[in-house]
Structure 1
Amino acid sequence: MLELDLAFFAVAGPAVVFAGISKGGFGSGAAFAASSILALVVEPGLALGVMLPLLMLIDVATLRPFWGKWRWPETRLLILGGLPGVALGAALYQVANADVLRVLIGVISVMFVVWQIGRARGWISVATRPLGLFAGAVVGVFAGFTSFVSHAGGPPAAVYLLSRGMTKTEYQASTVLLFWAINVAKFVPYAFLGMFTLQTGLANLALAPFALAGAWLGVKAHKLVPEQAFFALTYVLLVLTGMKLIWDGLT
């Protein structure tokens, strides 16, 4: 049962603002944490149902500022992989072990950042290339699947996109378009699984201003933060969200 009381909004309001900032300015990597925070006060399935329309609202609000600035080949590849990943998530949602997924995503996220730092510091001298087509397709499926079961598609998508040498705006715009497509694809299966109720709809109406405010703040922050600081912050968010996923999965 979803109680729209002061305790709910005290938790949900800041969580939704945080999701808007993450999706609006910093590549969506940490936006999934809003669902985890909401799960502290409502059932996990309802938390996912509350968040999806809000994430879609944030997607629409951030499409225009970043329109046409994405790297289309990489984004298209992830979308093409992400759509069957969503279908797989819908088919296996009832039996998927979300904890195993959380740990796996968390480990990949943290190790990617460790790898990037090691290369930058000269600790790792192995010749490397950007992840290719096959890796991108696999990441797309993984991102679509994990996005469906926990709104946590951001970290795996970041691993692929960041390996491609994008500018901060190309990276941000690519994640906006990618998760707009994936979230639209998730809506109908979520409805069939009963994740939307009258109460979640009322919660969406009440929380919409928080989502739009967060998206606006994220877009503004993206423009103000220098590129080097942007990627440093992105890596910090990847580590923090990765560690939280590992903690959630193990506990």
Structure 2
Amino acid sequence: MNNLSKKTKAFFMLLILEFFILISLFFLKPDMIGQKNYILLSATFFLALWSFSTDLVMALFGALFLVLAYGSYILYQAIFAGVFNFTFLTDYFWLLVFPIVAYTSSQLGEGINDSNKSIQELRKNIQALVRVDNLTGLGNKQKFYEDLSEEMRRARRHGFDLSMMIVKIMFFKELIDIYGKSKTNEIIMLMVKNIEETLRAEDKKYRLEDDTFAFILPNTNKNGAEVIKNRIRTNLSAITLNSGKKEEKLNFNFKIGILEYDQKTNDVFEIKHKLEKELEYDV
């Protein structure tokens, strides 16, 4: 990342230097001031923009087009107009300027694109390292998979009971449309508070998606999970939202699924899929 940043800075400074030299020539050599050189300078500027936004091959094609166009103009002037007083600094050097500026601009653009890709990759890696949901403080999906894998190993090794629970808010988008994002977040926090009061300290809690929560229940069989499920259902049905002096009882739909670990698989993704399928039987 550091080398990439240095490379990008180097091409940026080089491009600035190239245009500085070009513009300085107009002040140092008054004979360069004219319509032709102004058009060529403008073409160089637009070539730089084009090259910055594309790859090196297309940038060099753009430069080649300008070289051929300007070279044809010089040839036409020499053959048909009888003009032979061409000099390097005022005429021919543009044939070098076009590919140089195209190359520099293209490399600068590629360097910035590579830097952006590196930044995006770093953000993804940072996100992967984060194990906590920002809103609720519960574990996120990554943390759920890690803990589930660990609890499954413990259950297999020691023969412990293990159950999982999933709670999904139905019509979540419609809930946001009715209450707005802020109020919906408040509702979610009330849900989390009620659920945490129902679960034990050793139970592990997660927010998998905006509308989906999961819980790992160590040393709990299916009958015990059913008891917890009924308690959560009762508590969630009694949630009230305070709006100033007014209390509003919330009527929103949710489904709860439970799954007891059969100690036959170590695939956490398969377990999660089975747990989600249990939502279909909660009617």
* TM-score, normalising length: structure 1: 0.26
Structure (1/2) with the larger helix percentage: 1
* TM-score, normalising length: structure 2: 0.24
Q: If you compute each CA radius of gyration, which structure gives the higher value, 1 or 2?
A: 2
